[in-house]
Chains A and B, each alone.
Chain A
Amino acid sequence: MHKPELLVTPTCVEDIEPLVKAGADAFMIGEQRFGLRLAGEFDRNQITQAVHTAHEGGARVYVAVNALFHNDMLPALPDYLTFLADAKVDAVVFGDPGVLMIAREAAPDLPLFWSTETTATNWYSANYWGRKGASRAVLARELNLDSVVEIKEHAEVPIEVHVHGMTCMFQSKRTLLGNYMEFQGKDLKVEGRRKDRNLFLFDPERDYKYPIWEDRNGTHIMSPKDVCMIDELDELMDAQIDSFKIDGLLKDSVYLIAVTKLYREALNLYAEDPDLYFDKKEELLEQVKKVQPKDRSIDTGFFFKETVF
């Protein structure tokens, strides 16, 4: 029976061991200088350490090099990619074709996963990036289940799908929080726009709260709810999706370990016998709800939603 990878984005290097025990098969880590919206910040030492710990536990480590790079960052990339190859990371996650160009020279044997988030929306483009050297496509979160299944049916590369956690809705290069505070003349509050400050935008018309923060990649605005597909995994399993991602962004280690355990159980049950999963899935969902932060409700994202245009 098909057993997909369970991929988790950990908050720190100390998360790796308990998450492996909880059932994670793979991790995506990195640092904001090169990667976007990571659950934790991993410098080179921590990457080396994470790879060591994960590999000992039989798990893989992928490193995010998926920022939108301007010219000034290009000189830093060959060295970073060479380091990652030497550190024996299992893959690099990229969106910018510039990374592809540099990796061909600097780290030709390093596997590359294509991940542009919002713009990975059809199977043709997934296969296109596969022909250019990607060995996995990470799909946009704004796709419905039918589209995801259809992409998988036509895909020549393994497919990764986000099944749990928050989603980025917006990235600007501008420092929008700092700009707002400066406009208000509140220079004292300009400091500390990092994501650990729990800033959010309130949208009174929809009664939604959107987490927002600034970092060196600009301003990021996140979805008002967390995706949770723990009770809807059957069609994704049947479609043989290759990797299921749990995003640990803005969550703590305790939460992440608990949720990873629940998904591990769900996937194991389904692989053993789908009926076992169907019997248990409501309970698994209830357990997710128990650990879910009170101000973050869950939904199924775009999996069962139609968008128009």
Chain B
Amino acid sequence: MAKISEKTVEGKRIIVKKPELLAPAGNLEKLKIAVEYGADAVFIGGQEFGLRSNAGNFSIDEMAEGVAYANKHNARIYVTTNIFAHNENMEGLEEYLKELERVGVSGIIVADPLIIETCKSAAPNLEVHLSTQQSLTNWQAVKFWKEEGLERVVLAREVSLEEMLEMKRHVDIEIETFIHGAMCIAYSGRCVLSNHMTARDSNRGGCCQSCRWDYFLYEGNDMAETALFDDGDAPFAMSPKDLNLIESIPKLVEAGIDSLKIEGRMKSIHYVATVVSVYRKVIDAYCADPDNFKIKREWLTELAKCANRPTAPAFFENTPGHEEQLFENHKKQASHDFTGLVLDYDEETKVVTLEQRNIFKPGDEVEFFGPQIDNFTQRVETIWDKKGKELDAARHPMQVVRFKVDRPLYPNNMMRKGVL
């Protein structure tokens, strides 16, 4: 079994090799934010061969820029190439993988042996990580992929901590596991609801999330049908709560899990920044002093500020019951709106220059956060536009505005506002 790397300093245990914190990015801006807010690695999608065909996705040039930025900050870039290809998707694959290698991507996340084998021969410097789309659930299967030369496997979302530990005991391979974000309720790769209902191929990026729709449960055949619900009952639903393993980070670190992954290439920069920075703090705090570590309440409330759905630990300990599913109306429930991105701060005048992302006005209480600062709240006074004209509110998305903020801010710090 791979042992975690630790040492003792003045009687205090310290964990030397921290797990990688792996964040999603749907475009270059999100990639930079993820790295700046503390991600050790970022996974992105290209124009082809990846799931999430609706995400922004990167051109080769954008990838090159992303890699250069990441390298400057000692971060790694992985590219999702995790479709199950059909014959017609084979074209251009070799050239594509060579391009990824050329621009300095560290590795690809793959499900289809076609892409694994093509990568080994065409772009041997790329690491190959097995995608969760392969639904890896046992150590013998992990061993198979190890023998195939893969550097890392992403486990099925159905694997518990205990099962991960057993895999680690049997096979010396890097293990990556999801810690936060939306999830398939089916075994990944084993759901083609989209194909059947809407002729969109879920395993090539066309998933239309049919699992989050409402259905009605009946019993019977062509002779007689009985509804298994009464008037006023919630319809049948199989929408899972989002995954959230913040309180289990200590166990994951002790288990020697190599990479902790946040889902969400479609999510906003506010989401990426918030989630990454919280997990960054948790991992760092735990590794610095594991034996006196306690989860801080503020970390939990911080995550709730950007949560799209209620969250749950899913399969980490047990098979989840109905409490980990969403029935009836399940509206978005983030406690805060993302209201602005800091462009600049003038220490002398104490005026921030900020790009608006959601309406705010004088009198509002807003919160600032960022990697260089501790969260603080501020009451907004007079707001000016770029030319110095006073505004009754910052109404327009991407509008550049200025107002006074007491404490120093840095570019790419973010501003949010509580939703009443």
- A residues sitting closer than 8 Å to B (CB atoms) are 68-71, 73-74, 96-102, 117-119, 121-125, 128-129, 142-143, 147, 150-151, 154, 167, 169-177, 179-184, 186, 189, 197-206, 208-210, 212, 218-219, 221, 223-224, 293-295, 302, 305-309
With a CB–CB cut-off of 8 A, which chain B residues contact A184?
229, 233-234
The answer to the question of B377 belonging to the interface, with a C-beta cut-off of 8 Å to chain A, is: no
Q: Is the CB of A309 within 8 A of B218?
A: no
Q: Is the CB of B141 within 8 A of A169?
A: no
- 0 or 1 for each of B141-177: is its CB under 8 Å from A? (1 = yes): 1011100000000001011000100110000000000
Q: Is the CB of B138 within 8 A of A69?
A: yes
Q: Taking the nearest CB of chain B, how far is it from the CB of A166, in angstroms?
A: 11
Bound complex: CA A143 to CA B167 (Å): 34
With a CB–CB cut-off of 8 A, which chain B residues contact A180?
217, 236-237, 322, 327
With a CB–CB cut-off of 8 A, which chain A residues contact B1?
none
Q: Is the CB of A125 within 8 A of B325?
A: no
Within 8 A of A (CB), among B67-102: 83-90
With a CB–CB cut-off of 8 A, which chain B residues contact A170?
186, 190-193, 211
Q: Is the CB of B322 within 8 A of A182?
A: yes
Number of A-B contacts (CB under 8 A): 214
Output the nearest chain A residue to B315 by Cβ-Cβ distance.
A173
Q: Is the CB of B228 within 8 A of A199?
A: yes
Q: Taking the nearest CB of chain A, how far is it from the CB of B142, in angstroms?
A: 8
Bound complex: CA A171 to CA B200 (Å): 18
Bound complex: CA A210 to CA B145 (Å): 35
Interface size on B, residues (CB 8 A): 74
With a CB–CB cut-off of 8 A, which chain A residues contact B166?
71
Bound complex: CA A307 to CA B199 (Å): 5
In order of increasing CB-CB distance, the 9 nearest A-B pairs are A309-B206, A98-B140, A294-B222, A97-B144, A179-B322, A309-B204, A201-B215, A124-B114, A295-B222
Q: Is the CB of B140 within 8 A of A122?
A: no
Bound complex: CA A140 to CA B47 (Å): 25
With a CB–CB cut-off of 8 A, which chain B residues contact A221?
193
Bound complex: CA A70 to CA B200 (Å): 30
Q: Is the CB of B86 within 8 A of A70?
A: no
Bound complex: CA A68 to CA B222 (Å): 33
With a CB–CB cut-off of 8 A, which chain B residues contact A308?
199-201, 206
Q: Is the CB of A68 within 8 A of B195?
A: no
With a CB–CB cut-off of 8 A, which chain B residues contact A123?
87
Bound complex: CA A69 to CA B159 (Å): 11
Q: Is the CB of B217 within 8 A of A199?
A: yes
Bound complex: CA A124 to CA B143 (Å): 22
Output the nearest chain B residue to A67 by Cβ-Cβ distance.
B137
Output the nearest chain B residue to A293 by Cβ-Cβ distance.
B222
Q: Is the CB of B197 within 8 A of A128?
A: no
Q: Is the CB of B137 within 8 A of A68?
A: yes
